[in-house]
Structure 1
Amino acid sequence: MHSEVPCTAVLFDCDGVLVDSVDSGERSWRRWAHEYGLDPAEVLRGIHGRRSADTVRLFLPADARAAGLARIEDIEISEAVDTAALPGVHQLLERMTADWAIVTSASPALLQARLSAAGIPLPPVTITAADVSVGKPAPDGYLLAAHKLGSPIEHCVVFEDSVTGVAAGVAAGPRCVVGVGAQALDTPADIVVRDLSGTSRTGTGLRFAEASILRSPGQDLGQCTVVL
């Protein structure tokens, strides 16, 4: 049995949705924290779903932020070599044409490094940390992606994994926000799936295999209409 959500475009977060970069990302930030004499555990609590510049701003004084941001960028790019695609990603993206985008808190260079390592092509539209003045949980990135794709945001589906990212997706007002991974059960995502295994693009929307769904809204919950 499958569930289907109608949509005209799909907006993906990258880390934790399309690629597994947890180990490389956390290694990078631990190294950065040690270099700056910071508590790594405290720094790690502020990184997920947030632009590096926003994390750096939390821990460094104004006169050290530019150098701190450049340093974490260098470290993360060097550590991106073991980034891997998450289950189901390649199969789903093979069915995508010009109707998808990535909205990430990463920089353009870091996004390219991680996608290349995972064997994932760049989508027709990418929105990175450099493209918005305010990062997640603000909805700006998702609204800009929908605009660039020429699809009303209310006709889009957003895929996110973190609390901050889901908040950004919900605030944008798409047809549906899909949480990816068990941690997304602690967010207000409309649907939560284990990963993208069994998720496919149809002529009118997205189809989810029941075996991959951890939480479903049923027939209708707010803007998210699920066809069984």
Structure 2
Amino acid sequence: MVDDLVAVFVYLTNTAGQVNDALRRGQTGPHVPLARCVTSGLTRLPTYRGATILRATLTEDERAWYREGAAVVEWGFCGALTTARPGLPGNTDILIWSRTARRTTLMDAQVPDRVLFLPGTVFKVLHTSSGDRNQIMLRELAPSEVAADGAPTARVALDDTALTGLAAAAEAVRSARSIEPLPEAYTWAFHTPPGLIPVTAVPRSADADETVPPADTTG
């Protein structure tokens, strides 16, 4: 148990970018046992249910890959915030309705509003929009909500509840100027779009962060 929590601390403070890049590409190596320990440690932390946000740099084609009603799978640890922090880099807000994301403030108090979704989490695309702030809205699915072919089952009531909460979170994003920005060291910790594989392991600037969609298996 202690070793697993230490792994969570190491991941949060040192190795997140490298581990996530390797996991999402399906690579083998020493990151695999570390990721297993991190996953075990995270399951011992409190869960968060509600709206979360991250911000990514996406092309028009990449935003179009998020088709409303489709399911996407994230094979790395997906970091998100429960607070609408100002100044996040990117051109697209990705708002996720969480049911099991783990709060990490007990392990790293520098960002008390940070949560992590575990590898293999499936999300349903609820809504996408373009404009002054491009938006993608997702809902975390329970295993029972995913059919054998990987498609999400119909749970319209849950979708509506999530959309209502995410719409309120989107409004909070627009008025987040008075909220304290992230510490500089964490600027890129909430920049990974679920289901898309970054070309670069750890982005250095918004211009350098390019992503490519994986093979579409959602039908």
With the length of structure 1 as denominator, give the TM-score of the two structures.
Answer: 0.26
Task: Compare CA radii of gyration and give the structure with the larger one.
Answer: 1
Higher helix share: 1
